[in-house]
Every structure is written in structure tokens, then in C-alpha cells.
């Protein structure tokens, strides 16, 4: 599969576009679903800071999302061109696969989390099984997210070593970097809680 993805830039770009668009709309679906079932309250649901306002408002079209979709797609094409232009085989394949893993496998990890949320929402809507309410503080959401990304990083790293795969290595590094970022955001949120949270404590 890695070799197939590396034979043309369009395979990676098309997969990236599909994953990036579905990521945004699955986020909106989950945010709306959690509001409807009423058992879960989040100080912040969307953990990517630049998208928090759009998701909170459940905006079906985001100018920022469209802009980043175009820019990242062009970046993938640019990386393909640079590796083909300046690197000899097999380094061109190895480098492009590594960068493609950075883009695609982070989205794979995010989509697995989306599927978990969607499964939970549908199960509660259909069969119940949850009573009362639970509130997630921002720092707690970031900390749980960081742990999950670290676990995906370990999984992708194991696959990278087993298959000598630059594609999975890229995903492992990106998931670790995202986990580290969320760990830092968790510490920042805990040290500087929002005024509403301070009023509750």
C-alpha cells in the first residue's frame, strides 16, 4: 500500500481531502450528538484551538477549514515535487512516504476516536444505559487526548519497526507530537482555568 501511495501524489492528496473533510463533519456530528443525549458536558469539545469557535457554533461551513484543506493539499503536492526533483531513488519514496504518514495517520487516529464517540452516542440514544451527568474540564479532555495519541504513537512505531516503514514512522512521530502538544495544553488549562470553572470551584 505504501508503494502504491508513493507512485503518484494524487492518491495521497485524495485520501487527505477525504479524511480532512470527514474529520470536520464527524466532529460536528459528535458535538451535536453529545448535546442531544445530555449526559455529557464539555468545557471545550473541540481540542484544536483554531476550530473551537466553529465547532461550538456547529458551523456547517468553515472558511478556516477550507483554507487549510487547500494549503495542506498543496503542501503534499509540493513535498512530492521536491522529493522527486532533488532525491534519488529510494530516498524519494522513503521521504515522501514519511511525510504522507504524518498527514494521513494522524487523521486515521482521529477518525478512530470519532468512531468511538459515534458508537457511544448511538448506543445511548438507542438503549440508554447512562444516567446522570458528567462534566469534562478542559485540562482533563486534553490529558485524555494526549494519552490516546501517545498510544497511537506506540502502535505506529511498532508497525514501523516491524515493516521497516517510513510511512508508519511519520505517523508515530506526528501522533507523539500531538500528544505532547495536548499535554502542554492540559497543564496550561489546569493552571489557568476559565472564569466559569473558577466560579464553580
Condensed to tens digits (0 to 9), the pLDDT of residues 15-31 reads 999 999 999 999 999 99
Query: What is the model's pLDDT at position 88?
Result: 85
How much is the pLDDT for 5? 84
Q: Which residues of the chain have pLDDT under 70?
A: 195-201
Give the model's pLDDT for residue 199.
Answer: 38
**Residue 90 preceded by cis peptide, ω within 30:** yes
pLDDT on residue 193: 81
pLDDT score recorded for residue 198: 42
The pLDDT, as a whole number, for residue 200 is: 40
Compute CA distances 66 → 32, 60, 62, 69, whole Å.
Answer: 21, 11, 6, 5
Beta bridge partners of 41: 135
How far apart CA 105 and CA 171 sit, in angstroms, is 5
How large is the C-alpha radius of gyration of the chain?
19
pLDDT (0 to 100) of residue 87: 82
Per-residue pLDDT at 192: 86
Give, rounded to a whole angstrom, the gap between the first and last alpha carbons of the chain: 52
- The torsion angles phi and psi of 42, rounded to 5 degrees, stand at -120, 130
Amino acid at each position: 500500500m505504501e508503494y502504491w501511495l508513493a507512485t503518484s501524489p494524487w492518491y495521497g492528496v485524495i485520501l487527505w481531502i477525504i479524511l480532512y473533510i470527514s474529520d470536520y463533519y464527524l466532529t460536528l456530528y459528535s458535538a451535536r450528538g453529545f448535546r442531544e443525549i445530555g449526559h455529557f458536558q464539555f468545557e471545550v469539545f473541540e481540542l484544536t484551538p483554531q476550530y473551537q469557535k466553529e465547532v461550538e457554533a456547529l458551523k456547517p461551513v468553515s472558511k478556516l477549514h477550507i483554507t487549510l484543506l487547500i494549503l495542506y493539499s498543496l503542501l503534499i503536492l509540493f513535498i512530492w515535487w521536491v522529493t522527486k526533483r532533488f532525491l534519488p531513488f529510494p530516498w524519494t519514496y522513503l521521504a515522501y512516504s514519511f511525510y504522507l504518514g504524518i498527514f494521513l495517520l494522524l487523521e486515521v487516529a482521529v477518525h478512530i476516536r470519532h468512531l468511538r464517540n459515534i458508537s457511544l452516542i448511538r448506543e445511548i440514544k438507542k438503549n440508554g444505559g447512562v444516567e446522570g451527568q458528567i462534566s469534562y474540564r478542559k485540562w482533563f479532555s486534553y490529558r485524555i487526548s494526549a494519552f490516546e495519541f501517545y498510544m497511537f504513537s506506540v502502535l505506529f512505531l511498532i508497525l514501523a519497526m516491524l515493516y521497516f516503514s517510513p510511512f508508519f514512522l511519520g505517523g508515530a512521530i506526528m501522533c507523539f507530537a500531538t500528544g505532547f502538544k495536548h499535554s502542554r495544553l492540559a497543564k496550561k488549562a489546569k493552571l489557568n482555568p476559565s472564569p466559569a470553572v473558577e466560579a464553580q470551584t
